[in-house]
């Protein structure tokens, strides 16, 4: 049995650790903080529990990765399917994304006005493309590296893949032109909003197949984890420990050293020799741990820098009388003609009324996020940067007051976060979050076949394929471990449920506040 170190207990690292155990490896998981989940964690501050970043999740149907983990690992995690999943609000109207797809199509057509026939044709095409691509996401072994059987399965599925030919390498806007919908403003607003929160780029620049698949996000086992996503991350850590894995919280890895037959991990609480490493880090942060420049990492780090940071508000509010009991998700756009970032576009997640773990009954917690254009902010002096962040957070407050006034009247607590906060708590250089935007072009597909960074060392997380979102990061972790173990003596794979081991020494519960 070999030993595999995972650096970072974000969802990329958790996916890698679980897959390594499934493949029969001994696992040691290092996490700098005293709680897991990274950008998709739940932190405690003044007795309230806030989701740090991610709040709406897909992949929870029984045949999908998170659904399967919950079932096979016997996790005590409750997943709430919401209806509506999200409500989009702009100054010119609102659109509820409801669970019934047909009903949603009716609403979108009504929103789009006169172009109903074209919109319906576009939605039918979109659904077909999404079907092909989600079948890859829902079964990680369908992504490279392939076994002979999987490759053969793909050959048989070739006729389905041919559907993609007309959109690969093109922008979503070009596909819309084909349907005569490029100038359909309401549809463009909806698409820009969906693309921005999923593949991190607007519809004019988005790579079409990724965008068309992302449009299905709301109907792919999507909803909210009761108690916050940190509940799932913590349950996965327990499962890893129960299966013999060692989880080392508050043990930040400081450097990595190549050894003749593996790697030496130098961490805050000592060094350890391991056979392989899955690093749940940004390429620039892995570069720092390695000390010497790695050719593969430089262009990768550049691509991360085409992405985003995040500005956040975390609030505690008394809900309006007609708020309903379910958790809520709002997407707010203040000015439809301005870019969807920097406080113009907000994603608001509100905890459920009965979730007493988040706030005392009668109160609800809010996590409010917006994309921050970190590339443009990079050259700013610290004082100017602080002023920018302050301006964006003020704009977020104005947006809430204008487009979600019912949640504004009784705010009893507020704290904030900025890219600097993310850098400090998740260890991400400068606070780059959310993965590499899926802009139109072939680059994204080349990543499918990217191998380990160095022998026995792979990078996992949202900057590695398939990329953005907790689900994609977890799937990427799974695939990276299969790559690392390629050529290693193949042991019989064990179902998660049959893995047994000893409980590793205790880990402390989450308590570090993620606030500025």
Ligand X SMILES: Cc1cc2nc3c(=O)[nH]c(=O)nc-3n(C[C@H](O)[C@H](O)[C@H](O)COP(=O)(O)OP(=O)(O)OC[C@H]3O[C@@H](n4cnc5c(N)ncnc54)[C@H](O)[C@@H]3O)c2cc1C
- Cβ within 8 Å of residue 481, ≥6 positions away: 4, 16, 19, 20, 23, 25, 278, 458
Q: What are phi and psi of 452, to 5 degrees?
A: -60, 155
Candidates 4, 5, 6, 11: give the one binding ligand X (CB under 6 A): 11
Which stretch, 8-16, 65-73, 314-322, 500-508, contacts ligand X (CB under 6 A)?
Answer: 8-16
Could you tell me the smallest distance in angstroms from the CB atom of residue 504 to ligand X?
16
Burial profile 430-440: b = 16 or more Cβ within 10 angstroms, e = fewer: bbbbbbbbbbb
Which of 3, 4, 6, 13 lies at the binding interface for ligand X (CB under 6 A)? 13
Q: In angstroms, what CA-CA distances link 511 with 41, 50, 91, 227, 516? A: 11, 11, 39, 14, 15
Residue choice 6, 27, 40, 359 for contact with ligand X (CB under 6 A): 40
Q: Report CA-CA distances (Å) from 79 to 71, 307, 319.
A: 12, 30, 22
**Based on CB atoms, which residue is closest to ligand X, 55 or 167?**
55
Shortest spacing between CB 209 and ligand X, in angstroms: 19
Of the two residues 38 and 343, which places its CB atom closer to ligand X in the complex? 38
Among 123, 470, 482, 484, binds ligand X (CB under 6 A): 470
The correct pick among 426, 430, 439, 507 for binding ligand X (CB under 6 A) is 426
Q: Give the count of alpha carbons within 13 A of 178, CB side only.
A: 14
How many residues touch ligand X under the rule CB under 6 A: the total is 38
Binding mask 170-199 for ligand X (x = CB under 6 A): ------------------------------
- Per-residue contact flags (x/-) with ligand X for residues 141 to 160, judged by CB under 6 A: --------------------
The number of helix segments (H) and strand segments (E) in the chain equals 17, 19
Tokens of residue 494, six digits: 């064990």
Q: Which stretch binds ligand X (CB under 6 A): 52-60, 77-85, 150-158, 389-397?
A: 52-60
Among 36-44, 180-188, 208-216, 293-301, the segment contacting ligand X (CB under 6 A): 36-44
150 by Cβ neighbours in 10 Å (0-12 / 13-18 / 19+) ranks as middle
Residue in 184, 443, 406 with CA at minimum distance from that of residue 306: 443
Which residue lies nearer to ligand X by CB, 64 or 115? 64
CA–CA separation, 192 vs 3, rounded Å?
A: 44
CB 115 → ligand X: shortest distance, Å?
30
User: Among 48, 50, 57, 465, which residue interacts with ligand X (rule: CB under 6 A)?
Assistant: 57
* Alpha carbon distance 344, 322 (integer Å): 26
Residue 32 is a binding residue for ligand X (CB under 6 A):
yes
Q: CA dihedral defined by 150, 155, 159, 165, rounded to 10 degrees?
A: 90
Place of tokens 């000592």: 270
Q: Where are the beta strands (DSSP E) in 373-423?
A: 411-417
Q: Sort strands 345-350 and 328-333 into parallel, antiparallel or unpaired.
A: antiparallel
Q: Near ligand X by CB under 6 A, which window of 47-55, 113-121, 154-162, 393-401?
A: 47-55
Nearer to ligand X, 40 or 189 (CB): 40
Per-residue mark of binding to ligand X, 225-264 (x: CB under 6 A): ---------------------------xx-----------
Q: Count other Cβ atoms within 10 Å, centred on residue 163.
A: 15
CB of 289 to ligand X, least distance (A): 6
Residues in 270-289 at the binding interface with ligand X, rule: CB under 6 A: 280-281
Considering the complex, state which of residue 40 and residue 239 has its C-beta at the smaller distance from ligand X: 40
Measured in whole angstroms, how far is the alpha carbon of residue 89 from the centre of its chain? 23
Site string for ligand X, 436-465 (x = CB under 6 A): -------------------------xx---
**Contact, 338 vs 344, CB < 8 A?**
yes
Q: Report the 10 Å Cβ neighbour count for 43.
A: 22
Query: Looking at 38-46, 153-161, 256-264, 314-322, which segment touches ligand X (CB under 6 A)?
Result: 38-46
CB 35 within 8 A of CB 510: yes
In the complex, which residue's CB is closest to ligand X? 10
| Residues 116 and 184: beta-carbon distance below 8 Å | no
What is the footprint of ligand X within residues 336-395 (CB under 6 A)? 369
User: Quick one: which of 95, 277, 473, 485 contacts ligand X (CB under 6 A)?
Assistant: 473
Q: Is 54 in the site for ligand X (CB under 6 A)?
A: yes
| Contacts to ligand X by CB under 6 A | 7-13, 30-33, 38-40, 53-57, 252-253, 280-281, 310, 369, 426-428, 433-435, 461-462, 468-471, 473
């Amino acid at each position: 049995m070999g030993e595999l170190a995972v650096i970072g207990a974000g969802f990329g690292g958790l996916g890698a650790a679980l897959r390594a155990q499934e493949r029969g490896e001994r696992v040691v998981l290092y996490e700098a903080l005293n709680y897991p989940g990274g950008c998709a964690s739940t932190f405690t501050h003044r007795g309230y529990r806030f989701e740090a970043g991610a709040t709406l999740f897909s992949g929870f149907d029984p045949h999908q990765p998170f659904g399967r983990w919950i079932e096979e690992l016997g996790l005590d995690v409750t997943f709430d399917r919401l209806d509506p999943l999200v409500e989009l609000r702009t100054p010119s109207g609102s659109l509820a994304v409801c669970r019934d797809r047909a009903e949603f199509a009716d609403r979108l057509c009504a929103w789009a006005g006169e172009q109903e026939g074209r919109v319906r044709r576009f939605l039918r095409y979109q659904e077909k493309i999404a079907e092909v691509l989600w079948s890859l996401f829902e079964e990680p072994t369908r992504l490279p590296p392939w076994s002979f059987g999987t490759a053969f399965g793909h050959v048989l599925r070739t006729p389905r893949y041919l559907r993609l030919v007309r959109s690969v390498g093109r922008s979503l806007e070009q596909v819309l032109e084909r349907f005569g919908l490029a100038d359909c403003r309401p549809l463009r607003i909806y698409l820009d909003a969906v693309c921005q929160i999923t593949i991190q780029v607007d519809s004019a620049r988005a790579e079409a197949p990724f965008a068309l698949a992302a449009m299905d996000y709301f109907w792919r086992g999507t909803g909210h984890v009761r108690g916050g996503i940190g509940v799932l991350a913590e349950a996965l850590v327990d499962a890893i420990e129960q299966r013999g894995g060692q989880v080392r919280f508050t043990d930040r890895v400081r450097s990595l050293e190549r050894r003749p037959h593996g790697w030496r991990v130098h961490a805050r609480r000592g060094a350890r020799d391991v056979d392989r490493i899955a690093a749940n880090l940004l390429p620039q942060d892995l570069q720092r741990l390695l000390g010497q420049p790695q050719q593969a990492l430089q262009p990768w780090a550049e691509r991360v820098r085409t992405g985003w940071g995040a500005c956040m508000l975390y609030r505690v509010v008394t809900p309006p009388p007609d708020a309903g009991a379910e958790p809520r998700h709002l997407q707010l756009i203040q000015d439809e003609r301005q870019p969807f970032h920097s406080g113009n576009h907000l994603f608001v997640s509100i905890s459920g009324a009965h979730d007493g773990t988040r706030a005392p009954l009668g109160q609800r917690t809010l996590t409010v996020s917006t994309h921050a254009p970190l590339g443009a902010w990079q050259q700013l002096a610290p004082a100017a940067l602080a002023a920018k962040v302050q301006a964006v957070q003020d704009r977020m407050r104005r947006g809430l007051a204008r487009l979600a006034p019912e949640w504004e009247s009784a705010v009893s607590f507020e704290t904030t976060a900025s890219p600097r906060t993310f850098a400090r708590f998740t260890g991400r250089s400068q606070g780059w979050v959310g993965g590499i935007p899926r802009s139109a072009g072939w680059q994204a597909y080349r990543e499918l076949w990217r191998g380990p960074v160095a022998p026995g060392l792979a990078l996992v997380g949202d900057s590695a394929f398939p990329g953005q979102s907790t689900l994609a990061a977890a799937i990427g972790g799974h695939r990276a471990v299969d790559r690392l173990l390629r050529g290693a003596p193949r042991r019989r794979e064990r179902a998660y449920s049959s893995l047994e081991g000893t409980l590793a020494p205790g880990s402390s519960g989450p308590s570090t506040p993620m606030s500025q």
